[in-house]
């Protein structure tokens, strides 16, 4: 549940409105004309200013999606930061991931901005391919939000199930580039391959996860954050990822990715959500 402090921070940082560029320009031009006209009739009066103003300006751009990226994405970067000495051939794992047309996985964590979304009460199911990402958000077992992005069609569809609202809009080129960059950072197969080959790790040995014999590696980042990745011995695909993010020497965030399904043809999965007839525009 959000605290009053978090409500304050949300209002400070997220409640922002701007004039549309055309109106913005028109208003300034009109204001300058008004200023000029007033000077033609009234002389300016000088008077020294006295008081000093203290202005706080805090900018925090952290949505839930960003938290996910921070907790899980950065964590993945960190746990891949370790080389390979185990029985699993990690370069082959990266090749497998690269060749996978699409993947579905579950993710969750603790220490999120809104504690109500902490695991196990909250979690997400994500479908991801090179161009498409769909994430369903769950809270208390109920799906309350769906976000779908398609970099090829430059489309974003957001469904807010609890409010029966939706938002569908075109992605700007900037957002398309950002979406593709996100994939390169932590979900793009080539990105994973490069990271796996360039960083060091130590082996965790073998254990069985959900009936699958896995081998794991663990890495520790410069700030003490740790990540563990478990890969199926037979399949050569990731089965479980666990991350512990450290801030100021304490564990602030944990993240888990599991229930992976690799080599999924997302086009056949009907990933693009349909907007229910009774949903209203946001």
Closest CB to other proteins among residues 178, 207? 178
The helix/strand/coil state of 78 is helix
Closest CB to other proteins among residues 56, 250? 56
Beta bridge partners of residue 155, listed in sequence order? 150, 170
CB of 142 to other proteins, least distance (A): 12
Residue 237: partners with Cβ closer than 8 Å, 6 or more residues away: 93, 96, 97, 100, 231, 260, 262
Residue 149: partners with Cβ closer than 8 Å, 6 or more residues away: 132, 133, 134, 155, 156, 171, 179
CB of 165 to other proteins, least distance (A): 7
Closest CB to other proteins among residues 169, 200? 169
Closest CB to other proteins among residues 127, 230? 127
The site for other proteins (CB under 8 A) is made up of 1-4, 7-8, 10-12, 14-19, 23-24, 27-28, 30-32, 34-39, 42-56, 61, 63-66, 116, 133, 135, 145, 147, 149, 156, 158, 160, 163, 165, 167, 171-172, 174-175, 178-179, 182, 282
CB of 27 to other proteins, least distance (A): 6
Closest CB to other proteins among residues 43, 270? 43
Structure tokens at 67: 């938290």
CB of 149 to other proteins, least distance (A): 4
Structure tokens at 179: 């979406």
Q: Which of 94, 254, 118 is nearest to 187 (CA)?
A: 94
Tell me how far CA of residue 73 lies from CA of 11, 78, 116, 241, in angstroms. 27, 9, 21, 11
CB of 11 to other proteins, least distance (A): 5
């Amino acid at each position: 549940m959000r605290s009053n402090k978090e409500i304050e921070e949300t209002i400070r940082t997220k409640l922002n409105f701007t004039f549309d560029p055309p109106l913005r320009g028109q208003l300034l031009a009109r204001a300058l004309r008004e200023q000029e006209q007033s000077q033609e009739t009234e002389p300016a009066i000088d008077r020294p200013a006295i008081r000093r103003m203290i202005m706080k300006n805090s900018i925090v751009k952290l949505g839930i999606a960003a938290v996910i990226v921070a907790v899980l994405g950065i964590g993945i970067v960190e746990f891949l930061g370790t080389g390979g000495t185990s029985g699993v051939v990690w370069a082959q794992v990266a090749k497998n991931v690269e060749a996978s047309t699409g993947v579905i996985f579950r993710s969750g964590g603790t220490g999120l901005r809104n504690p109500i979304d902490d695991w196990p009460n909250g979690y997400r199911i994500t479908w991801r391919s090179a161009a498409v990402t769909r994430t369903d958000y769950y809270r208390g077992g109920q799906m309350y939000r769906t976000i779908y992005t398609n970099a090829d069609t430059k489309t974003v569809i957001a469904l807010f199930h609890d409010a029966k609202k939706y938002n569908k809009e075109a992605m700007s080129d900037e957002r398309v580039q950002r979406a593709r960059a996100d994939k390169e950072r932590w979900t793009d197969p080539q990105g994973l391959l490069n990271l796996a080959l360039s960083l060091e790790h130590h082996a965790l040995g073998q254990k069985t996860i959900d009936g699958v014999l896995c081998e794991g590696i663990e890495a520790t980042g410069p700030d003490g954050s740790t990540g563990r990745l478990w890969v199926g011995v037979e399949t050569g695909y990731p089965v479980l990822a666990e991350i512990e993010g450290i801030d100021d020497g304490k564990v602030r965030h944990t993240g888990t990715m599991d229930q992976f399904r690799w080599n999924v043809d997302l086009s056949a999965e009907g990933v693009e959500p349909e907007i229910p007839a009774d949903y209203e525009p946001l």
